[in-house]
Structure 1
Amino acid sequence: MAEPIYYVDRSDIREGKLAEVKNGMHDLATFVQAREPQLIAYHFYIDESESTMTTVAVHPDSASMELHMELGGPKFRLFGALIRMRSIDVYGRPSAVVMDQLGQKAEMLGGGIVTLHTLQAGFSRLHPPRNSD
């Protein structure tokens, strides 16, 4: 069974670009929802000071993340004038292709650091247990 991949990135929102970032987040979420039915979760957050954007995604496997990077690439570029990428944290076992794509994305959006975290222990309940009534 493929291991899910958890993705978290953080970016600084450029001065005066908050409204454009919010519009871009909604556009990107709608775009991804319509084209990537395999994606388990895809969320954008803005902190209380409205200066930091965080993206959280859960992919069922590395192939899902690779597809996401290919489809979303042109959309990600639009954020280049709106944000400065600080970091990308990846939890799981993405392919070398995905890691290369993430490095390119980080560089394109401001040079953030990409960090890979490998699973040591734990479990996921992606499908809740069924009652045996």
Structure 2
Amino acid sequence: MSGPFIFIATNKVLDRKLEDEKNRMPGWVRYIQEREPRTIGFHEYRSADGTEVEFVQIHPDTDSFEHHLRVVAESDMSFKDTLSGTTSIRIYGQPSEAILEMLNQQAGAGVSVTILPEHFGGFTRS
């Protein structure tokens, strides 16, 4: 059974930059929303202590997520002023080799990646 492709990335927030990250997010959401019409969900959550944020994305398939990675790579919007980098990635669905290569380039080597490739069932409402 094929389900949506779900991607979760945890990122460290730079010291005293949580408010800046919160203020940066509406522009980033608009940018993604305008360029990725197939994306089902795109959200950012902060940890209780404000030291981390997680991006949660829901895509209909791997092609949609590959498109997202290309959009991010082509973007001139910078995270470097608010986030110090990705610390872990969780993937629900089977990523393509292209996805794994792009993630390695964008997140860097050494980032923990957990893949849960098989979808047993469920539903998504819109």
Normalised by the length of structure 2, the TM-score is 0.85
Change (3 A) 1:125 1:3: closer
Contact 2:3 2:121 in 1 (8 A): no
Identical amino acids, percent of aligned pairs: 27
Partner-residue secondary structure (3-state), 1:103: helix
Question: Partners of 1:65 and 1:37 in 2: how far apart?
Answer: 11
TM-align CA RMSD = 2.3
Of residues 113, 125, 128, the one that matches 2:123 is 125
Change (3 A) 1:104 1:65: same
Question: Partners of 1:12 and 1:5 in 2: how far apart?
Answer: 23
Question: Partners of 2:3 and 2:95 in 1: how far apart?
Answer: 9
Letter aligned with residue 32 of structure 2: V
The 5-angstrom pairing of residues 1-133 of structure 1 reads 3-75=3-75, 78-83=78-83, 84-107=85-108, 112-119=111-118, 122-126=120-124
Question: Partners of 2:102 and 2:87 in 1: how far apart?
Answer: 16
Question: Partners of 1:58 and 1:74 in 2: how far apart?
Answer: 20
Q: Which moved more, 1:85-94 or 1:20-29?
A: 20-29
Change (3 A) 1:53 1:127: closer
Q: Displacement of 1:72 after TM fit?
A: 1.6
Q: Displacement of 1:74 after TM fit?
A: 4.2
Q: Displacement of 1:51 after TM fit?
A: 1.1
Structure 2: stretches of 5+ with no match in the other structure: none
Structure 1: stretches of 5+ with no match in the other structure: 129-133
Larger of the two Rg values belongs to structure: 1
Letter aligned with residue 91 of structure 2: V
Normalised by the length of structure 1, the TM-score is 0.81
